[in-house]
């Protein structure tokens, strides 16, 4: 009798232990590749390694169950709602999410995008369930719709990736910056590593004997802030000192014809190499081709700078964006006015001469991984998770 009672108590205890404590809601993380998707994957990778991982359920609006998902575990259960009718998919997800909230009464809901914030606030607030909104960059840099701004201001917490992104979002939407917590992007130092330039790639792109500048960016007409055109305008000055310089541009988009014409007009078309789309699996080999990673941009953070640094490549960014964090306010790289070709040219010449400590690839890699490696990311997530539990 006593043994049966103990077994029953143990069974109830197991069920209680498996109660959902956290709920995550995202647009998608598997259907597309991008900075946000990579960031979210790092969150799940770290979540599974927390000292005391909680039970969590993950709702994905635009992913389906056929996606390869390495994060499914005893702690993370995924639900997929991709539908030919986006509206129907959203309704189905809202219904499933409400059922989960009513039955499980989770400790915290994490809203993965501002476009989901109104839905999360509508469901959570009447139930008294606190929610945190994750923000990244330009999606919150301008004044939001009133309903979105209300959902953001009513959140128990806001996470973002950089000081710059925090400051712009708060200024644009009258948000108290004290409720915004930092969870910057991470770099996998085991994946992104230094290495020799591959001869076949040197031959493929015509880089023999050249100093190589590189940018990885979408070449869309709506994304000219990436600064590829500014770097092309800087090439004539750079070529006066380093005549064999080449600019390897990785990415594709509708702005490429304009950029190619600009290079032709400036007489540097033979020095600009448009590599097109390169799969993520091949990016590391391409980073290793570079003598400098150049992107005078306006980023929310700029994970590409960390990827380059982990490969031992010195970096240049704009001086008025979230890149201040990965570049540690200039300690780890060059920061210049992002639309100034003269400033870009001057900094590129300094990098290619290689006299600065920021050109020391081994030192640069050590610094980047110490501050932004996966272990540091896990520690930050652990701290934020502990704060959520104490609320």
Terminal C-alpha separation, the chain: 41
Confidence at residue 389, expressed as pLDDT on a 0 to 100 scale = 64
The residue-averaged pLDDT of 208-237 equals: 96
- pLDDT tens-digit series, residues 143-177: 999 999 999 999 999 999 999 999 999 999 999 99
Q: Cα–Cα distance between 295 and 102 in angstroms, integer?
A: 47
Asked if the model's pLDDT at residue 261 lies above 90, the reply is yes
> What is the third-level CATH fold of 17-185+374-390?
Rossmann fold (3.40.50)
Domain 199-372, CATH: 3.40.50.2000
What are 81-124's pLDDT values in tens digits? 999 999 999 999 999 999 999 999 999 999 999 999 999 999 99
CB 182 within 8 A of CB 225: no
Residue-level pLDDT at 6: 36
Under the banding of pLDDT at 50, 70 and 90, the label for residue 2 is very low
pLDDT tens digit sequence for 282-304: 999 999 999 999 999 999 999 99
Q: Assess contact for 204 and 197: CB atoms under 8 A.
A: no
Same CATH topology for 17-185+374-390 and 199-372: the answer is: yes
Question: pLDDT per residue over 316-349, tens digit each?
Answer: 999 999 999 999 999 999 999 999 999 999 999 9
Query: How high is the mean pLDDT of the chain?
Result: 93
305-324: average pLDDT: 97
Report the share of the chain in percent with pLDDT over 90: 86
Calpha distance 89→123 (Å, rounded) = 17
Report the run of H or E that residue 295 belongs to, with start and end: strand 292-295
Least confident of 14-23, 32-41, 85-94, 245-254: 14-23
Residue extents of the structural domains in the chain: 17-185+374-390, 199-372
Alpha-carbon dihedral 197, 357, 38, 40, rounded to 10 degrees: 160
Residue 22, pLDDT score = 96
């Amino acid at each position: 009798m006593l043994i049966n009672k103990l077994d029953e108590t143990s069974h109830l205890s197991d069920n209680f232990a498996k109660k959902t404590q956290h709920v995550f809601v995202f647009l998608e993380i598997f259907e597309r590749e991008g900075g946000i998707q990579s960031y979210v994957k790092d969150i799940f990778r770290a979540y599974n390694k927390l000292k005391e991982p909680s039970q969590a359920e993950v709702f994905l609006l635009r992913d389906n169950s056929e996606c390869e998902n390495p994060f499914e575990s005893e702690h993370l259960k995924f639900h997929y709602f991709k539908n030919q009718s986006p509206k129907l998919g959203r309704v189905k997800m809202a219904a499933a999410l409400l059922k989960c909230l009513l039955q499980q009464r989770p400790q915290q809901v994490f809203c993965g995008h501002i476009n989901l914030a109104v839905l999360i606030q509508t469901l959570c607030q009447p139930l008294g369930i606190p929610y945190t909104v994750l923000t990244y960059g330009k999606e919150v840099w301008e004044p939001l719709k009133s309903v979105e701004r209300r959902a953001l201001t009513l959140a128990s917490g806001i996470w973002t990736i950089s000081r710059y992104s925090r400051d712009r979002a708060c200024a644009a939407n009258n948000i108290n910056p004290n409720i915004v917590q930092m969870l910057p992007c991470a770099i996998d130092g085991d994946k992104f590593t230094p290495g020799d330039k591959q001869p076949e790639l040197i031959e493929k792109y015509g880089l023999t004997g050249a100093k190589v500048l590189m940018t990885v960016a979408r070449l869309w007409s709506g994304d000219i802030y990436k600064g590829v055109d500014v770097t092309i305008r800087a090439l004539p000055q750079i070529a006066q000192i380093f005549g064999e310089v080449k600019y390897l541009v990785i990415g594709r988009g509708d702005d490429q014809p304009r950029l190619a014409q600009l290079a032709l007009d400036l007489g540097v078309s033979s020095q600009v190499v448009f590599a097109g789309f390169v799969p993520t699996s091949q990016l590391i080999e391409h980073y290793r081709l570079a003598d400098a990673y150049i992107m005078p941009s306006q980023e929310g953070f700029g994970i590409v700078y960390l990827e380059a640094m982990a490969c031992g490549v010195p970096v240049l960014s704009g001086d008025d964006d979230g890149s201040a964090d990965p570049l540690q306010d200039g300690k780890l790289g060059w920061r210049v006015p992002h639309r100034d070709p003269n400033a870009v040219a001057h900094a590129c010449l300094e990098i290619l001469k290689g006299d600065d400590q920021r050109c020391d690839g081994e030192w640069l890699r050590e610094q980047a991984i110490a501050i932004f490696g996966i272990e540091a990311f896990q520690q930050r997530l652990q701290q934020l998770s502990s704060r959520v539990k104490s609320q």
